[in-house]
């Protein structure tokens, strides 16, 4: 399997050669650019699996900063995951991708993204609330309980406190 960087280069090369994949009306699978370490990437992948949407996963390793490359910026100028390429169509932001998949692929149950605009508005409310509240809270929690301890920030802060206490004693003399 090619690494994500090579896949991105191949997509760009095909575009330049005028050989892009067919549009949604064609028979190509959407390409999902994702890092399964991120909840938004997992949401898109799970949605595809639950709804029987065939897709090609293109792994983009955030820890290796592959999402920040100029090649990936051609797919998603915001340089974030997930993103999809479906034929000539490129899309980023997990909620936008989920809405697109629900609308573009036949057989996706109506309860995911109802045709009724009142019901659909309720879906929008939950999606927007999710980004504004749940994601922010979860990010803070994961950062403080998982990421920062691994970076030894707590040890650095403890030593910094000792240094401040020591310096305050020196200033008093």
Is residue 82 a contact partner of residue 44, using CB atoms and an 8 Å limit?
A: yes
- For CA atoms 12, 22, 31, 138, the dihedral sign is positive
Q: pLDDT category, 29, cuts 50, 70, 90? A: very high
Instruction: Compute the distance between CA of residue 1 and CA of residue 10 in angstroms, rounded to an integer.
Output: 13
> Does residue 76 have a cis peptide bond before it, meaning omega lies within 30 degrees of 0?
no
Whether 97 and 140 map to the same domain: the answer is no
Q: What is the predicted pLDDT for the residue at 6?
A: 66
Whether 26 and 106 map to the same domain: the answer is yes
Higher pLDDT, 106 or 6: 106
Number of domains in the chain: 2
Is residue 30 a contact partner of residue 53, using CB atoms and an 8 Å limit?
A: yes
Domain carrying residue 47 = 4-113
Whether 28 and 95 map to the same domain: the answer is yes
């Amino acid at each position: 399997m090619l690494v994500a960087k090579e896949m991105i280069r191949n997509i760009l090369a095909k575009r330049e050669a005028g050989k892009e994949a067919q549009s949604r009306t064609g028979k190509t699978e959407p390409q999902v650019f994702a890092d399964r370490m991120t909840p938004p990437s997992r949401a898109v992948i799970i949605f595809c699996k639950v709804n029987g949407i065939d897709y090609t996963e293109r792994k983009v390793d955030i820890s290796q900063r592959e999402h920040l490359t100029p090649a990936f910026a051609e797919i998603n100028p915001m340089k974030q995951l997930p993103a999809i390429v479906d034929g000539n169509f490129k899309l980023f932001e997990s909620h936008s991708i989920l809405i697109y998949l629900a609308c573009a692929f036949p057989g996706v149950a109506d309860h995911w993204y109802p045709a009724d605009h009142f019901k659909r508005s309720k879906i929008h409310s939950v999606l927007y609330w999710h980004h504004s509240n749940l994601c922010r809270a979860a990010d803070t929690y994961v950062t403080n309980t998982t990421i920062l301890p691994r970076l030894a920030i707590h040890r650095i802060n403890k030593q910094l406190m000792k240094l401040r206490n020591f310096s305050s004693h020196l200033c008093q003399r």
